[in-house]
Amino acid sequence: MAEMATERDNPFLLHGKYELGRMLGYGTFAKVYHARNVQTGRSVAMKVVGKEKVIRAGMMEQIKREISVMKMVKHPNIVELLEVMASKTKIYFAMELVRGGELFSKVAKGRLEEDTARVYFQQLISAVDFCHSRGVYHRDLKPENLLLDEDGNLKVTDFGLSAFTEHLKQDGLLHTSCGTPAYVAPDVIGKKGYDGSKADIWSCGVILYVLLAGFLPFQDDNLINMYRKIYRGDFKCPPWFSPEARRLITKLLDPNPKTRITIKKIMDSSWFKKSTPKVVKSKEEFEFESFNGDRLPNPETLNAFHIISLSEGFDLSPLFEEKKREEKQELRFATTKRASSVISRLEEVAKSVKFSVKKSESRVRLQCKECGRKGKLAVAADIFAVTPSLLVVEVKKDNGDTLEYNQFCSKELRPALKDIVWTSAAENSTPA
């Protein structure tokens, strides 16, 4: 067996794990290299940031924020941060390698067909909506920060100027002016505070215009004059824009942030919905559709070891756990009701929220009929017999977005199941 490469054998081997290759690009504070994980063989993009330059420029907090943001926003249309490493002089970002180049390069060759532009815009809005749902505002959306993978799917990158909800001032607005002049919203230029989500929507409008036109909506050699045009929303749509595209862009590039279109209304617009991109079904969706209810004919019996593995410690009295962690992906409860009663109750929940249902004697699968931020939300409930008269039900997310799953559990599932959850006599008793 060949010995694993070491940093001594190969001076370009980073942390005994990544073999650095050719440079892919560079900026003021960072260089990006092609790298290969020698343990898995996976190719990655390695962003290398010099600590001294960053500290001298007072940007260490910005780097920390970028790391925090990228760990939060895992989405098919956002470049994934795989891991962060550091040495005495450098910070290393191991990131998903996106091989298709910048969307900017595609637009530089000329305007896109409307259907092509729509697919990119749909993917952009999906990513931006996901970021906003996590309280993250990108603040520097432009074609140069939109990459394309080998299949032509869009990937948002460069969260160096992003902001969290926590950065809002007491007036509930952001106050740091940033972004690329041609794509920046008038509310950001105004320096009176702005809504990060509305500023991102404006930038999405400029991007859509550029995709369809092949040039910017607000152009002037003099920056002050360009800002005046942006502030007034002074632009014209070329004659080849369809009436629906023209209407949507006018709503996106509304200089008044209060009346500017929201992401929900963008998604509901006729132009956006005109041709929905092909949806590749996830493994979980295929499993849901193929689930025929034949498995597990009777509730599986739990032994003591199962019970311990299902619990957090030995306190099984409530069993309807409230997990403090935001990313909780499962819940359990005990019940003295029959399995058929539990299944009926889950079916009622599914009906009230328009979920599809597949079931067996000891398993129920619920799936949302509409796509969420990360595909269709799917929930599985497994029923286990502790004794003939006591069941444990374990509910977990099978597919989709964790935040949407948590909201479903707190708003729909828990209230609907509350009266069938078993509690011990000690819990029910009141002090004298």
Q: Which residues are annotated as a binding site for ATP?
A: 51
Dist CA 191 CA 168 (whole Å): 14
Query: 24 Cβ partners below 8 Å, 6+ apart?
Result: 32, 33, 34, 45
Q: Taking a C-beta distance cutoff of 8 angstroms, is the pair 194, 187 a contact? A: yes
Question: 415: how many CB neighbours lie within 10 A of its CB?
Answer: 11
- In the structure encoding, which two tokens stand for residue 351, read together? 């009906």
The DSSP bridge partners found for residue 375 are 372, 373
One-letter amino acid of 345: R
Catalytic residues: 140
Query: 341 Cβ partners below 8 Å, 6+ apart?
Result: 335, 420
Residue 41 Ramachandran class (φ > 0 left, ψ -120 to 50 alpha, else beta): left
Dist CA 323 CA 330 (whole Å): 9
Residue 288 CB-density burial (10 A; 0-12 exposed, 13-18 middle, 19+ buried): buried
Dist CA 125 CA 134 (whole Å): 14
- In the structure encoding, which two tokens stand for residue 53, read together? 């330059």
Dist CA 200 CA 128 (whole Å): 8
Q: What are phi and psi of 343, to 5 degrees?
A: -65, -40
Dist CA 148 CA 31 (whole Å): 20
